[in-house]
Amino acid sequence: MKPTKSLRKQAGKAEAAAYRTEDTEHAERMHNLAEAFRAQAEALKAEKKKGKVRK
């Protein structure tokens, strides 16, 4: 599995955990974790795109 896809999958799991929990502090942490995973995925995608040379 590609790293960006893996990070997005982890973000989805963190979001799902945030919705399932009744503890608001835990839910907020899971939402923040999901945002961080998505940001990492976007950074990797941008880095990969930047490295490609257009012909």
Task: Give this prediction's pTM.
Answer: 0.83
Is the separation of the CB atoms in 27 and 18 below 8 Å? yes
* pLDDT, tens only, 8-40: 999 999 999 999 999 999 999 999 999 999 999
Provide long-range contacts, Cβ within 8 A and 24+ apart, for 30-39.
Answer: 35/11, 37/7, 37/8, 37/10, 37/11, 38/7, 38/8, 38/11
Q: What number of CA atoms fall less than 13 Å from residue 45's CA on the CB side?
A: 11
The CA distance from 25 to 8, in Å, is: 22
pLDDT score of 16: 97
pLDDT score of 54: 55
